Amino acid sequence: MRPSILRRLFRRVASTAVLALVAATLSTVGTAPPAAASATATRGGLQQVTGFGTNPGNLQMFAYTPAELPADAPLVVALHGCAQTADAYYTNSGWPEYADLWGFAVVFPQTASANNALSCFNWFDPADDSRGRGEAASVAQMVEYAKQRYGSDSGRVYVTGLSAGGGMAADLLAAYPDVFAGGSIASGLPAQCATSQAGASSCQMGSQKLTPAQWGDKVRAAHPGWSGPWPRVAIWQGTADYTVYPANATALRDQWTDVWGIGQTPSSTDTLPGNTTRATYDDASGQPAVQTYSVSGMGHGLAVNPGSGTEQCGSTAAYFLNTICSTYHTGVFWGLDRDTPGGGEGRLPAPSGLRVTAVTADSASLTWDAVEGAASYTVYRDGTKLASPTATTHTDTGLTAGTAYRYTVTAVDGSGSPGTASAPVTATTTGGGTPARCFTATNYAHVVAGRAHTTGGLVYANGSDQNMGLYNVFVTHTLRESPAGHFVIADTGCTA
């Protein structure tokens, strides 16, 4: 073994206590991760690649490519969490499923205990997470190899990661904005949050109290002189994550919205399956630049949702949690389901004019404006797929009296691909005793009045646990109360 490797190994083992990103993983799995060599015994399609570069970060490269990979296809780099392997991420994350469906290649880098005692990517070490150095440079070499070997489109390269892999993904987006068009950070850390192992635990706890501009400066300093375009970033976080605290999602949101220069108030919010609230921050052209996905009640891990549906993916395992398919929504955000970066062109627009036309004690009737090119529509109630009418009307039945329901609609083209979701509307059924009440106030005032609560610097509506954004006096929402003590966001269609 080279002396430089020995020094790295000694340095990693010497202070493993602060590498708590997945200390719980070790007790869950019960054994240390398999040695790097065992990763060659992979399932169908995953192949190890050697000779991809000088590899200064001492990483292994694995890749999955569909049987018929088109020319100039996108490329996704997927980084595993601590005590995991490339094979585990390949098997459970769902990325191979969408590589087959949408036609793109996936690179799965793998680290090992020679780099880090818990097989974590070193997201906190300047020797590994900086441009042109260590592990970050090895990943960049993998991308360059993939572009040459698979003919990947250099304008559509994306990086995603879980936990320590998410922290490294954020560092890569900052260090290589000229390489990555977008990123997705799951239960991860802001770019350049820590510069030492001692600082890593403080980041995990969300103890870093920086302004958006200070967070943004860390990105800008990672590749001095770069002025854009910046990567589009998705941020996934469970509200019950006590390994990487939810405050990190807020810091990530602050960091990347500041880099984009678009402020920290969402352009829109909506509800997705799995108790997930999505907040979208549009750029100056009206396209999503940053999206946050807050999964209520989810702990530390990657959100998956096993099943055969288009919006379902992955399999459950340690730190692969059955809530919602984050891979699907990340891929759509990046535009992997379409031929253009960002997913803007080719997707059907959001139906306009969604409104409630009638309510009874057990039903709600909706109508919306037709979308040119739509073969059908999908109606969602409280984020769950409800119906697929071909007409521009729908009546939802079997509801509970005196209860508020939130609806959105998407247009679906002839190939079955959904477009952008409409703005939500709220329908409240009649009867049920006390009528619904609406309250418009700042997030701070809602908490003080007992209509909402705080967790990790974010505010959640009591009862529904919908993510309302930051705990401050600048963000304002209307909450509808029905039944008593149960509040839902009703920023449209509800007068205080």
Handedness of CA 323, 325, 330, 335 (dihedral sign): negative
The continuous run of DSSP H or E covering 412 comes out as strand 404-412
User: How many other C-beta atoms can be found within 10 angstroms of the C-beta atom of residue 302?
Assistant: 33
Please answer whether residues 101 and 330 qualify as being in contact, where contact means their C-beta atoms are separated by less than 8 angstroms: no
Q: Catalytic residue among 93, 138, 152, 163, which? A: 163
Catalytic annotation present for 163:
yes
Considering Cα of 294, then 297, then 303, then 308, what sign does the dihedral take? Answer: negative
Which amino acid, 257?
T
User: What are the start-end ranges of the H helices in 409-454?
Assistant: 443-448
- What gap in Å lies between CA 109 and CA 249, rounded to an integer? 24
The neighbour count for residue 248, using CB atoms within 10 Å, is 28
Quickly list DSSP for 220-254.
Answer: HHHSTT---PPPEEEEEEETT-SSS-THHHHHHHH
Answer whether 424's CB lies under 8 Å from 355's CB. Answer: no
CB 86 within 8 A of CB 39: yes
- Token pair listed for 326: 């984050």
* Residues 6 or more apart in contact with residue 73 via CB below 8 angstroms: 103, 104, 105, 150, 151, 152, 153, 156
Cα torsion for 479, 485, 486, 488, to the nearest 10°? 10
Joined together, the tokens standing for residue 122 give 């070193």
Neighbouring CB atoms inside 10 A of 238's CB total 27
Distance between terminal CA atoms of the chain? 70
Cβ–Cβ < 8 Å for 418, 427 = no
Task: Kindly state the helix (H) or strand (E) to which residue 166 belongs, with its residue range.
Answer: helix 164-175
110 to 165, 274, 369: CA distances (angstroms):
10, 29, 49
Residues tagged active-site: 163
